[in-house]
Amino acid sequence: MSISSSLSRTGVAAWYERRSRRRRSSRGADASLAIGVAIIGIMMLAALLAGVLSPADPIRQDIPNALAPPGTDGHPLGTDALGRDVLTRMLYAARTDLFVAVGAVLLPLAIGVAVGTIAGYRGGIVDRVVTGVVNVVFAFPVMVLLIALVFILGPGIPTIIVAVTLVSWVSYARLARDLVRRERSMDYVLAAKVSGLPTRRILGRHILRNIIAQPVTFAMSDAVAIILFITALGFLGLGVPPPAPDWGTMIADAQPYFTTHWWLAVFPGLAICAAGLGLSLIADGLSQKWNAQ
Amino acid sequence: MRVIHVARHARTVLAAVAAALALASCSAGEATEPVSADPTATPATGGTLHIAGEREATALNPYTAIDNNSAHVFAQILETLFRTDQDGQVVPWLVESSEANADFTTWTFRLREGVTFSDGTPMTADDVVYSIETVRQSEAWVSMFAEIERVEAASPSTVVVTTSVPSPALEASLSLPFAPVVPADLAGMTPEEFGQHPIGTGPFRLESWTSGQRITLVRNESYWVPGRPYLDSVVFEAVPSDSNRTQQLRGGDLDIIATPPRPQLEALDEAPATVVGEFAMAFPNYLLLNQESDAFGDPRIREAVDLAIHRTNILEAAGGGVGELGGSFLAPALNFHDESLEQVERDPERAAELLDEAVADGAERHFTLSVAAGGTYANLTAQIIQENLEDAGFDVTIEQLDGATVLAEVGAGRYDATLFTMTSDIIDPLEVIGYYVDLNALWTGGETAEVATLLEEAKQAVDQQTRGDLYARIQQIVYDDRSLVVLGYQPWIWAWRADVVGYEVPMTGVPWLADTGFRE
């Protein structure tokens, strides 16, 4: 760090700088949040209205019209190797992928925060056991563990949600535990304790409200990771079983066609990028907003 | 003949430097002059050829390694007594001549003079006796050579094989790439050591093996065929992804690749720098229906499946239009393949009727189709079959598992239906029919007793016509049993750089690189 920059952090100048940075970041946070919500909102709407937006059947094959390029009559984004409409499959895939992402985030969020909060507040043997379990799960290579679980339980949407939940609740538990431990010695908690409030109420009403921002922010970025994970599973043939469409499987199936039929991989790839971008912007916006507060 | 323009390969450091200089001095960036490639040109001597398949060899001991990837490598090092040539003829190779007595129970092989192993020792009758004795006792091939009774060295250059029953196809059996001539007692090595340091009479010898990366073979200077091989060295690499293999071929890092992806064949063929070759129609594609499962015990259910499948669609969409249709479970590349057995005529209405009848008698509509994850052909085929059968009233679940798991489950009989293929290492169908019999009709529980009897008769039939008739009856039985539903046949497909000449693959699928080289 240079001398001038360290000097600038003192006194009035620093106060001005901090204040203006906070304002800027607050405006930025609103913008990211709005754009992120808009992207995800549009995608969810498109997924819900898939049947209306595209009259084609996402799984009906039409082999004589296979591999039609984008712009072909009735197929704005072309058809795949079995003659199925790429746009329609992408819309129905959004249902699968967004549903799995939401499911696979909410479950571990709920379980992890609950376990972490109790461990952090109670301390002692409960905390040591939970921390031990969390460390053990953390020590496993996540991808290997997930793939092993998918193998044991057999591929499918419920399996993906269960597998992701089993692995990823620990991140939330650790986060919540650390936050609660910090929080539990704060004056307002002590005051609540002294005034005789039951533990359940202290945790639910007071502590949880103060710590929930971080796990929720983390969940948004985790959802991006989960969409990528479903993609990876689809790529390994372990994702959503055929013929139901999902973006990852669509890209995996397109692999031999990369150089000759680009549309098969590019459009679902763009959809994944858009979903990832939308969720990242929401996470970013939320974290900036809460940090500013 | 098509004339192809090919960018000359910069193979040596000097040539690469020259090309770079030329490139630098040429503003348009067209450094290399176009050369019209001529497939009939004779190769120049020298050069290093990079060839890649899907998987690495497991071992170079022919008696323990039973996978084709290993055979691709050791077949360049170890030679057999007979070979199957490009036209599907069994020709003498390490033998000068072979003669059988009238009832084909005693074969006399006169060995070729002047053949030496790559360590300099001459090949003798003792080596041949040891080799045949070893292969007929090895676990993988014991049933194929079961009829051999005695193998004796009558003189240093004559071997006599006596069989318990007439064995007119012994020459074809001895063309098996897994039955090559090795030095007697493996030149003092253990089987494991020999697997790492094989010694043979072939055009190349092993130079180095970096596990997981490459196997390098160099020219056997004492090779007995004058002027062969053309190449100084051959590097075998394993590139599991067919798309990556194709990219590396396009970029010039590889010279020959196995099984380029179907969707890219046309582009590879049209590109001036690359050539696509389709060889013998040797791959039959089966849908196996397990009669021992709850799903396929009723023959009407199997017939319904057979009638409902749209084979042309599978050939078009999954096979990329490359391949043939037919009814026999024996590939067209094999001798005695019955062409008159045509593919089943599609009749979805009849399929639905049969299914309804069977279901009324307690059969099930649902079954699981287990396929290996990641393969384009299997993935597309499974989805087409699923739709065809669901249209006829079936309820099909596709289960994608890792390839080894599928094999293990199918091998243990724990499956309803799966996709399978089986290729032959010899031109005579006795090997694959033998597998069919030994493996419980390829784990389907189909008809084997009658097939086994007919196979024994066919193996001993001296008269070609009788032999053909017996094999035709076997094909008809398997056809009627409908446990091996034949979806179609595929050829061996390879692609190479246009400056590679003399590359041929026989029906065994094991390439022969002694005649391969680079154009001058």
Say if residues A215 and A111 touch (Cβ distance below 8 Å).
no
Q: Spell out the residues 6+ positions from residue B331 whose beta carbon is closer than 8 angstroms to its own.
A: B281, B282, B283, B284, B337, B423, B424, B489
- pLDDT confidence bin for B7, thresholds 50/70/90: very low
Distance CA B38, CA B42 (A): 9
Going by C-alpha positions, the residue among B319, B314, B323, B484 that lies closest to residue B388 is: B314
Does B383 contact A260 at a Cβ distance shorter than 8 Å? no
Three-state SS sequence of B280-344: CCCEEEEEEECCCCCCCCCHHHHHHHHHHCCHHHHHHHHCCCCCECCCCCCCCCCCCCCCCCCCC
**Looking at beta carbons, which residues of chain A come within 8 Å of B346?**
none
CA distance A100 to chain B (A): 19
Where helices occur in chain A by DSSP H, the ranges are 3-8, 11-48, 50-53, 86-122, 124-139, 142-153, 157-183, 187-194, 199-201, 208-211, 213-235, 247-254, 263-292
pLDDT in tens, A203-251: 877 888 888 888 888 888 888 788 878 777 776 667 777 788 888 888 8
| Selected residue of A61, A235, A253 to mutate for chain B interface (largest B Cβ count, 10 A) | A61
pLDDT in the model for residue A259: 79
**Position B19, amino acid:** A
Q: Give the largest CA-CA distance in chain B.
A: 82
Query: Per mean pLDDT, which range of B61-70, B230-239, B463-472 is the poorest?
Result: B61-70
What is the set of domains in chain A, with CATH numbers? 45-292 (1.10.3720.10)
Does A61 contact B263 at a Cβ distance shorter than 8 Å? no
CA distance B372 to chain A (A): 8
**Looking at beta carbons, which residues of chain A come within 8 Å of B402?**
151
pLDDT in tens, B368-384: 999 987 778 888 999 99
Report how far apart, in Å, the C-alpha atoms of A213 and of each of A172, A200, A217, A259, A290 are.
Answer: 12, 19, 6, 45, 7
Q: Is residue B123's pLDDT more than 50? A: yes
Residues within 8 A of A (CB atoms), B 186-225 only: none
Q: Tell me whether B249 touches chain A (CB under 8 Å).
A: no
Q: Tell me whether B267 touches chain A (CB under 8 Å).
A: yes
Does A242 contact B242 at a Cβ distance shorter than 8 Å? no
Partnered with residue B36 across adjacent β-strands are B5
In three-state secondary structure terms, B391 is: helix
Q: What residues of A are in the B interface, CB distance below 8 Å?
A: 59-61, 63, 66-67, 81-83, 151, 154-155, 236-238, 241-243, 252-253, 255-261
Q: Tell me whether B452 touches chain A (CB under 8 Å).
A: no
**Looking at beta carbons, which residues of chain A come within 8 Å of B380?**
81-82
Say if residues B171 and B335 touch (Cβ distance below 8 Å).
no
Say if residues B453 and B433 touch (Cβ distance below 8 Å).
no
Q: Tell me whether B262 touches chain A (CB under 8 Å).
A: yes
B156 versus B29: the higher-pLDDT residue is B156
Going by C-alpha positions, the residue among B256, B259, B301 that lies closest to residue B274 is: B256
Report how far apart, in Å, the C-alpha atoms of B10 and of each of A265, B15, B18, B236, B413 are.
Answer: 34, 5, 9, 20, 53
pLDDT in tens, B475-505: 999 999 999 999 999 999 999 999 999 998 9
Q: Spell out the residues 6+ positions from residue A47 whose beta carbon is closer than 8 angstroms to its own.
A: A91, A92, A94, A95, A98
